[in-house]
Amino acid sequence: MMANLLLNTDNALLTFGNQVHLFTDGHAKFDQLIKDIDQAKRHIHVEYYTFAADQLGHRVLAALERAAERGVEVRVLYDLSGSRGTTYRFFSHLEELGGQAQALISSAKARFNTPRLNYHLHRKLVIIDGDLGYIGGFNIGDQYLGESPKFGYWRDSHLRVEGTAVLMMQARFIMDWNTTCRRTKKERMDLAGDYVNVRTTRLKNPDRSMVPMQIVSSGPDNDNRAIRRGYQGIISSARHYVYIQTPYLIPDDAILESLVVAAKSGIDVRIMIPPMPDHPFVYRATEYFAHYLVSNGVKVYKYDKGFLHGKTMVSGSHLASVGSANLDYRSFRLNFEVNAFTYNEQLAGELKAAFENDLKDCTQLNEEYFDQQSAWRKFKQDFCRLLAPIL
């Protein structure tokens, strides 16, 4: 049922023969990513909301420069708003070596003169040689390694994928690159030839570790809201439990009611959120909706170990989603997002176990927790709830 929903909403093909590794720690994820970049033979395509010009950003950039120097095609797509402080000069040496980099919004002037001001490239994708890909919640920046004094340990989720799903990730990158080329006049890409090569040896003798997967996109360029519908489908089809991690809990009415209906139907609905704001207005709205959900039977937890940034949903024995989309209006309507929806017992079990392990570092929110908050804080929560559609 879910596969048909996503196929009919986003033309998301169900792919097979995928081997998947789950990362929940930034050091492990980026160490492996840099290793994979250093082993690339043909092309590397990178797409991130944040590509910071800090220590991690320079590490990743240096790996990309090494690849370009040995003749690998390198293309980088990033978001100007999410990469504040990163200028075009940051990529100048990469381009001297033959690589290419461009921002979704191509100039500072465009920030003020186009209706796209509020639209952001929030996707996090890397595709290497057409048969290896990364998808999830980590951006490129030191704070994603837990090296921010403000946020401390950074808890996120990301998938390393080998197999046919990478073709769909590659197609997503090419469409995003070519759309941006209309303004930057960079070299366009053609979805053909070497870009769609997948080593067939990876598809032989499939076993339980092989993960059926759909790569699902959404954004302000269409009204299908495919990821939101996918989330609602997981919640609505849950029979025993649904576990959700999201840094921003600002659901629209459809998702909100789906969560309440599931909880009141006896489904074990649990949502984990961060303990602190990275955007104050957004966090106060998150607190408002957390209180509403708690009062309607949903279990909400505050992750106390550091900042929770993962965007995951898992239900039942095999159904899960990992990607860039938060449970909020912005991800549903204003951001360009991409998620992997997966159908595999082993991966679902890993995500469920990771959630349950994180519970050891959580505080469960209850009515007493909210009753003890000051009147001023409650006012801010009510006020920010009114701003929810634009947060």
Q: Are residues 312 and 176 in the same domain?
A: no
Q: Are residues 288 and 229 in the same domain?
A: yes
Q: Are residues 362 and 328 in the same domain?
A: yes
User: Are the C-beta atoms of residues 207 and 81 closer than 8 Å to each other?
Assistant: no
The pLDDT of residue 155 is 97
Structural domain including 169 reads: 25-156+164-197
Q: Are residues 91 and 238 in the same domain?
A: no
Q: What is the pTM of this model?
A: 0.93
Residue 19 lies in a domain: no
User: Are the C-beta atoms of residues 337 and 217 closer than 8 Å to each other?
Assistant: yes
Instruction: Say how far apart CA 162 and CA 278 lie, in whole Å.
Output: 33
Q: Are residues 102 and 187 in the same domain?
A: yes
Q: Please identify which residue in the block is written with the tokens 């929940």.
A: 24
The pLDDT of residue 185 is 74
Q: Please identify which residue in the block is written with the tokens 């898992």.
A: 314
Q: Are residues 351 and 294 in the same domain?
A: yes
Residue 204 lies in a domain: no
Q: Are residues 372 and 240 in the same domain?
A: yes
Segment holding 173, helix H or strand E: helix 165-184
CA atoms within 13 A on the CB side of 58: 3
* Residue among 299, 314, 315, 317 nearest 263 (CA): 299
CATH of the domain at 99: 3.30.870.10
Q: Are residues 175 and 228 in the same domain?
A: no
- In sequence order, the β-bridge partners of residue 299 are 270
The pLDDT of residue 113 is 46
Residue 203 lies in a domain: no
Structural domain count, the chain: 2
Give long-range contacts, CB 8 A cutoff, 24+ apart: 88-97. 90/53, 90/57, 90/61, 91/61, 93/65, 94/61, 94/64, 94/65, 94/68, 97/65, 97/68, 97/69
- In sequence order, the β-bridge partners of residue 23 are 158
Q: Are residues 248 and 316 in the same domain?
A: yes
Q: Are residues 320 and 273 in the same domain?
A: yes
Q: Are residues 286 and 349 in the same domain?
A: yes
Which residue spans within 51-165 are E strands per DSSP? 73-78, 100-103, 120-121, 125-128, 132-136, 153-155, 158-162
SS3 (DSSP) at 274? coil
For the chain, list residues with pLDDT below 50: 106-114, 200-204
Residue 277 lies in a domain: yes
Torsion angle of C-alpha atoms 211, 212, 217, 222, degrees rounded to 10: -170
Q: Are residues 171 and 220 in the same domain?
A: no
